[in-house]
Amino acid sequence: MKILNQLIALFLVSAFSFANVSPKEKEALIALYNSTNGQSWNATWDLNASEDSWYGVKVERDQIVELNLQFNNLEGNLPQEIGNLVNLRKINLGFNKLKGKLPTSLSNLKELTSLELFMNNFEGNIPNELGELKKLEYLKLYSNQFTGEIPPSLMELTNLKELLLGSNFLTGIIPNKIYALSQLKKLSLMDNKLEGEIPNEIAQLKNLEELILSNNGLTGDLPLALMSLIKLNTLMVSDNKLNEEYISISGKNPPNLIQLQEIQSATATMDVEKE
């Protein structure tokens, strides 16, 4: 009986030592591997091994829930098949050499809470379809080559806590409907080609801690209503075309908004110690 129990235990261990993800999900991972030069990744995959042993792939209950391949020398385009990883909650492909347009199939990833594609070479418009990812909390697309306007559909992502779109080539205005992102803590649109005035509606973002809009073509005045944002500890609006020049503020307990005319350095930073 003891030997039988040991054999049963060995069978169970063997049966559960390999992930049993769906063929569609495995095919999506292989498509990603092939389209991004997987053989040259810093940490590559053994396609004959179980998927839960593949670097950066997290499997729970035979479902692929996370894909973390940052700093891994991915080079190429994201395949449309990535939209078949419908159980993904997190994607981090930052600091790679990915290029081309984002596949619209990303809109299939309804469970996604974090999409991090920063520091790559993606181009084209940010897909309107990203507005369908209602559970998204973190959207980090900074330091790419995206063009076009900020999609109005992103204003429907009411669970967003961080929206980081800086260092691209975005044009147009900051959407007035930005107020809908009531959970937002960090908003960075720096180093783009945005125009128009800073919308007063930003002052409705009561949870905002960081507002970074420097290096654009924004005009008009800095809304005084921003002074009501008691959680705001970082404000950067320098190097725009505002009526006044503003010093950048960063600290745990910043003072009221400070205006400076004709200052030498538009990127000066004030560190304010907590009183």
What integer pLDDT is reported at residue 265 of this predicted model?
A: 39
- Tracing tokens 């190097």 back to the chain, one arrives at 239
Tokens of 265: 């350095």
Predicted TM-score (pTM) above 0.85: yes
Q: How many CB atoms lie within 10 A of CB 19?
A: 20
Query: 100, 63 in Cβ contact below 8 A?
Result: no
What integer pLDDT is reported at residue 249 of this predicted model?
A: 82
Tokens of 96: 């790679």
pLDDT in tens, 69-122: 999 999 999 999 999 999 999 999 999 999 999 999 999 999 999 999 999 999
Of residues 13 and 125, more confidently modeled: 125
Chain mean pLDDT for the chain: 89
Q: Distance between CA 178 and CA 161 in Å, rounded?
A: 12
Q: Distance between CA 77 and CA 55 in Å, rounded?
A: 19
Q: What percent of the chain has pLDDT over 90?
A: 81
Q: Distance between CA 77 and CA 98 in Å, rounded?
A: 6
User: Is 70 exceeded by the pLDDT of residue 261?
Assistant: no
Q: Distance between CA 152 and CA 191 in Å, rounded?
A: 20
Q: Which domains does the chain have, with CATH numbers?
A: 20-272 (3.80.10.10)
Q: Distance between CA 5 and CA 49 in Å, rounded?
A: 28
Instruction: Give which of 56, 105, 59 is closest to 82, Cα–Cα.
Output: 105
What integer pLDDT is reported at residue 13 of this predicted model?
A: 37
Q: Distance between CA 151 and CA 92 in Å, rounded?
A: 21
Q: Distance between CA 95 and CA 71 in Å, rounded?
A: 5
pLDDT in tens, 23-59: 999 999 999 999 999 999 999 999 999 999 999 999 9
Q: Distance between CA 180 and CA 205 in Å, rounded?
A: 8
